[in-house]
Amino acid sequence: LNSWVFMVTARAPTNIAVIKYWGKRDEKLILPINDSISVTLDPDHLSATTTVAVSPSFSSDRMWLNGKEVSLGGERYQNCLREIRSRGRDVVDEKSGTLIKKEDWQTLHLHIASHNNFPTAAGLASSAAGFACLVYALAKLMDIEERYAGELSAIARQGSGSACRSLYGGFVKWDMGKERDGSDSIAVQLATEEHWEELVILVAVVSSRQKETSSTTGMRESVETSELLHHRAQEVVPKRIVQMQEAIANHDFASFARITCVDSNQFHAVCLDASPPIFYMNDTSHRIINCIEKWNRFEGTPQVSYTFDAGPNAVICAPSRKVAGLLLQRLLYYFPPDSSKELSSYVIGDTSILG
């Protein structure tokens, strides 16, 4: 009888960069032109859950995302699957005594079902959680042990650059690395999720529309046409990485917030410096920045930080639940959810969606 199925389920959260990755030096291996630092979110809120299954009865590799079948034909999926399969080890099912030999991973087919616990259409980074989760689940299924720390992150990176950082919780740095094969372009945990537990992250969903320029295209155009991008990668980011690591180590919220905001703004300035310019933020994003900058200036010290990825949604960080509450009051005052369809607040930590 040839009807066994082995399955593994894993969950991985998304992460938000506070020092942005923007620009590749190698598009195929996804090697960046600068280091980046991110905060991994709580998996109860923005995360992907993925089940991977293997069975001799499967006749091809197939994948379903939120219940709909998607193609695995893309180069990024293929690269991740190839890298993972080549590291598979002998696996024995204790109960049935079934043995999968390491060479069998090359020929056995996989079924993959992945699900996001947040509105996929909300324009929130889902590829980071998705690829991190896929690589981790497959590594468990095939009993893969890392030959060096960060090896799995180097595989997830080939699915989506930012995915490498989602393999760890807390504060994570992605080292750009020097090697041509990308083996040292890996994620490293700077501090665990317990290190700075008081931090609260809010995501203000400004628009749930799909972005017009993908991060891949945006990065390529920025690398080719923006002088500011090269200045940023060579002169600015290395210093910020050191300062940000210090701010995290010392729970120094004022520095953390200041660097997060200026780095987000410089990333969007790079996009504006590309030719033709790329706009990821919209008027509402700019109004949120204004509102926070005014508040921070009025108080004389940063109350909260803001950062925007390749889209208009704001990710806001507060040093405590109390300040997060004050922020929410302000946002609801300036962007009343019932009178404006523009902004709804997806509140991390309270599991409520307002608006």
**Footprint on this chain of ligand PMV (rule: CB under 6 A):** 17, 20-22, 36, 125, 127, 160-162, 215, 309-310
What DSSP assignment string belongs to 146-201? -SSTTHHHHHHTTT-GGGGGGGSSSEEEE---S-TT-TT--EEEEE-TTTTTT-EE
Q: Which is nearer to ligand PMV, 9 or 127 (CB)?
A: 127
Q: Minimum distance between the CB of residue 80 and ligand PMV, rounded to whole angstroms?
A: 13
Q: Minimum distance between the CB of residue 138 and ligand PMV, rounded to whole angstroms?
A: 19
Angle between the N-to-C axes of helices 75-85 and 127-141, in degrees from 0 to 180, rounded to the nearest 10: 30
Q: Minimum distance between the CB of residue 183 and ligand PMV, rounded to whole angstroms?
A: 19
- Please, what is the Cα angle at 325 between 352 and 192, to 5 degrees? 80
Q: Minimum distance between the CB of residue 58 and ligand PMV, rounded to whole angstroms?
A: 29
Q: Which is nearer to ligand PMV, 101 or 286 (CB)?
A: 286
Q: Minimum distance between the CB of residue 201 and ligand PMV, rounded to whole angstroms?
A: 14
Q: Which is nearer to ligand PMV, 22 or 77 (CB)?
A: 22
Q: Minimum distance between the CB of residue 309 and ligand PMV, rounded to whole angstroms?
A: 4
Angle between the N-to-C axes of helices 283-299 and 253-273, in degrees from 0 to 180, rounded to the nearest 10: 150
Say if CB 336 and CB 328 are below 8 A apart: no
Q: Which residues contact 250 (CB under 8 A, 6 or more apart)?
A: none
* Type and span of the H or E element at 330: helix 321-334
Q: Which is nearer to ligand PMV, 20 or 173 (CB)?
A: 20
Q: Which is nearer to ligand PMV, 20 or 111 (CB)?
A: 20
Q: Which is nearer to ligand PMV, 83 or 309 (CB)?
A: 309
DSSP SS3 for 287 = helix
